[in-house]
Amino acid sequence: MIVPGAGGAAGAGSSPTIAVEGLRKSFGANEVLKGIDLEVAGREVVCVIGPSGSGKSTLLRCLNRLEEPTAGRVVVDGVEVTAAGVDLDKVRTSMGMVFQSFNLFPHKTALGNITLALTTVLRMDKGAAAERGRALLARVGLAGREDDFPSRLSGGQQQRVAIARALAMEPSVMLFDEVTSALDPELVGEVLAVMRDLAAGGMTMLVVTHEMGFAREVADRVVFMDAGVIVEQGPPADVLGQPREARTRAFLSKVL
């Protein structure tokens, strides 16, 4: 349930952009998600924090069915992602996802990485795809690097190309899974700056992160997960500044 006063731009009574109901995921006997209920309003930025193994990344991967949920429902933009027979390719174009690892094709340029899905999935004209790709590279601060291969880019630059690639499909939702955790500390800021810009532009974002400063500054709401459940959620000032639950306090005492 959306926490009153937690931010987000959806009007009263409007449907959430993301609705998760009773989501469970098991790997064999190990139940990683234990009945997650979560809503994200349109234009809301929700940061998910918690210790390793708490189920944060699995939650994101279940939203677009990179992992198959064991039980529960996921609805995005009014489409039940977990329904039998749903067009997953279409669903995934509405949800951009950026991972911890950049997952760029090493044999393609920065521009080629961005335009590949545009021409093969959306069947876009190559000229139009290239135009969109150049505009997106400029948006993430990489104008002029269109012809560079990933090996010539820093980790932060590669991650910005990955963000541009996800944005190329014009998704309504962006999912970020610990996107700065593989970067050298001096490169983290340039990626977070792009994410701040997206948030300021009204992008609906669900962000798994260990960057507490970013969560405090940018999130409308912070969700703390531990052991496969949502322990508490609310505005950043509450969850990060005055957590109600002992588990939240113990986690924050180690990371802040």
Q: H helices within 26-125, ranges in order?
A: 56-63, 88-93, 110-120
Residue of 42, 119, 125, 27 whose CA lies nearest to 78: 42
| 46 CA to centre of own chain | 9
pLDDT of residue 210: 94
Rounded distance between C-alpha atoms, residue 210 and residue 50, angstroms: 8
CA angle, 26 then 29 then 34, to 5°: 40
Say yes or no to pLDDT of 4 above 60: no
pLDDT band at 13 (very low <50, low <70, confident <90, very high): low
pLDDT at 121: 87
Q: Encode pLDDT of 149-166 as tens digits.
A: 999 999 999 999 999 999
Asked whether the predicted pLDDT for residue 14 surpasses 90, the reply is no
Percent of the chain whose pLDDT exceeds 70:
95
Contact 71, 23 (CB under 8 A): yes
pLDDT band at 189 (very low <50, low <70, confident <90, very high): very high
Query: Span 202-228, mean pLDDT?
Result: 96
Residue 139's pLDDT band, with cuts at 50, 70 and 90, is: very high
Weakest-pLDDT range from 32-41, 50-59, 178-187:
178-187
